[in-house]
Amino acid sequence: MTHAAAVTSPPGTAARARRWLGLGADAADLPRRVQALVVRQQDTAEIIIGVMQAMAIATFAVLYALSRTANPPPMEIEPVPVTLALDALFTALRLWLAIRRRLGPGLLAASVVIDFTVLFLTIWSFHLQYMAPLAVVLKAPTVMYVFILITLRALRFETRWVLLAGAAAMLGWTAIVAAALLQGSAGVTRSFLAYVTSPAILIGAEFDKLVSIAMVTALLALVVARGRAVLVEAMREQIAAAELSRFFVPEIATRIRGAEAEQMAGQAERRQASILMTDLRGFTGMARAMEPDALLLLLAAYQALVVRAVRAHGGSIDKYLGDGVLASFGAVAPSDTHAADALRAIEAVQEAVSGWAPPEPGMPPVAIGMAASSGEVLFGTVGAEGRLEYTVIGDPVNRTAKLEKHNKAEGSVALTDAVTYALAEAQGYVPSVPTERRAARQVAGVEAPLDLVLLGRP
């Protein structure tokens, strides 16, 4: 077994090679959503390629028309306009297929070959149009268009198309050089001066062109390979960030994305804030009586109701506590109306519950208990390496939890302490539900009696 391991290639070598070449080996490693994003980017790139090719054809046609006017060819039948017209028709068809998202691998490969075939047929036809030896076409500046066609393939971020374009360019130019040599009418020279002043063929010059095409192709392939890796990783991160944002309130997600330094446990800020806590009454009994799927559906509907009300009044969801929700106002971002916003959110939840229907027939109605309290909190990150969490801690959090449980003793739906209520009024809160003050109430876990304000009807 050891010997077998020694003679086989390292695991993943073929996969890495295919990934570098852009042959799709990386597709299996990516979530389908990332693959879909890559495909959309490539489809868009094909449209850009089609448009750029159309512009190149138009430019070449204009330049040809100008040169023809200044130096008309001796032939009455001109191959160049015919090949340009055919190339324009093919480019239009290709662009239409790209817009319709119908360019599969076979059509893409064919389009690359056809592009270079048309280009080299155009270059080859010059000697017919000007009734000159074939070797004269080797000096045609039109050969520079091969670099445009190769570069256009890089827009798709797949090295295989760049390599195919480079190979087609080298093969096409080699065929023209070979045809010129076989014709033999111009001869071969080693003099650069003779090369530029006569139809003679300079082998070194043609070799330099092939080397240039090969080097440009290789460099572009390398750029595309690296660019594709960055593109895929960026899309993976984009989707991951979008998914992670669903686990954080928008304010925290924005805070994480915009942080200049790495987030670490123990970082905190002091805030004057209000804490709101809700609890789904009778949840333990529901858990015994209901099927798990139905229970979670009911729980999700209840949480959605609370979240909408909290966010509508500027609050942030700190965490889900099973059948409870802990929200903060003024902790994630400072607020001058945090207490008023918290009490308005309580009213909004009460209103939503009064008109709320269970997500499925036969589900029991829900009742919610709520409480709010204000004061100084610490807002920051807790946890350990590899698992961090933004949260709020402080006396208002503990007091709110105890007040919420105290609803049962008071027979109330929602309540707050008198200090928080007075602060809310000072911040512009005007109750739209009945309120009742109860003085010096003994709340479990709180040493001194508290003056309470009940919000809403019991």
pLDDT in tens, 205-260: 999 999 999 999 999 998 888 887 777 777 777 766 666 666 655 666 555 555 54
3-class SS at 64?
Answer: helix
Residue 85 confidence (pLDDT):
84
* pTM of structure: 0.55
* pLDDT reported for residue 292: 85
Report whether 227 contacts 157 (CB < 8 A).
yes
Residue 263 CA to residue 306 CA, distance in Å, equals: 29
How far is 210 from 281, CA to CA, in rounded Å?
79
Residue 334 sits at φ, ψ, to 5 deg, of -55, 145
- State residue 347's pLDDT score: 93
pLDDT for 276 equals 95
* Structure confidence at residue 25 (pLDDT): 42
For the chain, what is the largest distance between any 2 Cα atoms, rounded to a whole number of angstroms? 114
Burial class (CB in 10 A: 0-12, 13-18, 19+), 311: middle
Q: Tell me the one-letter amino acid at 80.
A: V
Give the pLDDT score at 329: 93
Give mean pLDDT in consecutive 10-residue pieces for the chain, a chain of 458 residues: 40 56 51 71 82 82 70 63 81 86 84 87 80 84 88 86 94 92 83 84 91 94 83 71 62 56 60 92 82 86 88 87 88 90 93 79 80 89 62 88 92 93 94 91 90 87
The C-alpha angle 320, 325, 331, rounded to 5 degrees, equals 95
Q: What is the pLDDT of residues 369-383, one digit of tens each?
A: 999 999 998 887 666
CA distance 436 to 353: 20
